[in-house]
Amino acid sequence: MADAEFGRAVRRWRDRVSPGAAGLPTGGHRRTPGLRREELAMLAGISVDYITRLEQGRASHPSTQVIEALARALRLTAAEREHLFHLAGTAPPGPDTVPARITPSVQHLLDRMPSTPVAVFDAAWTLLVANPPYAALMGDPSGWRGRERNAVWRNLVGPGTRVRLTAEAQRELEATLVADLRAAAGRYPADQQLQRLVADLRAASDRFTELWDSGAVGHHETARKVVDHPHVGAVELDCDMLTVAGSDLRIMIYTATPGSADAERLDLVTVLGTQSLTG
């Protein structure tokens, strides 16, 4: 019964969210006023099959990460998010864990930047949400699972990103990410997921272990970055990193110089990405 109630709540809230409100294209014939399952899957980074099973009451005990992702994608209020956790038979994360909730102010910021690539990460550098322009620029993260969604893991163990980096810049980025992760571990020492991430990184990367044990430091600065897009080619952009006080969220924003060739290429990237969403 609890699984069925959870599924009905997800379906009810999915019907309530319009594609436009979620930053998705609104054209074409739609059989539902709200989000399609495929759209919710993309926004939450969860497979369509799993969302179908959740809504039909055929999947039980969703993880904290899944519940948080659904709450973000469905734009639930704090009370609704708490209710969703209770329907899943678990308590919402406490203050001793890395915050993963997108605050209303951050959501409003995302809503006001529908044509600008924006992504939001938590304090451990796990990707929480990426808007369609960001997905078009950096690669669609909706299929990324587990460690794939963590920027520290992707840069030290996984495939990296589309950003073109010199060897020196790559080493500086690695040191900065590890320093950030060490600071997060100090702020949230009871977070077991964060502890497992650090342990997995130590087991998988000698470079991570070296940086972690040496106490390497680093900090993010506004920088010009070149993104190698598979269809448009090189796009040179400004990358700004904003930190949200009180929530430990990191907002990454890519912008181009107005009127430049890079701005035109970025517009084309966004159009191509939008077409892939509606195709």
End-to-end CA distance of the chain: 37
pLDDT, residue 279, reads 45
pLDDT, residue 59, reads 86
The DSSP secondary-structure symbol of 186 reads H
Q: What is the pLDDT of residues 223-264, one digit of tens each?
A: 899 999 999 999 999 999 998 888 899 999 999 999 999 999
Ranges of residues in the chain whose predicted pLDDT is under 50: 277-279
What domains appear along the chain, each with residue ranges and CATH number?
Answer: 2-87 (1.10.260.40), 104-278 (3.30.450.180)
Q: What is the pLDDT of residues 83-116, one digit of tens each?
A: 999 999 988 888 889 998 888 889 888 888 888 9
Cα separation of 131 and 133, whole Å?
6
pLDDT, residue 278, reads 47
Which residues have a Cβ under 8 Å from the Cβ of 70 and sit 6 or more positions away? 10, 40, 44, 46, 62, 84
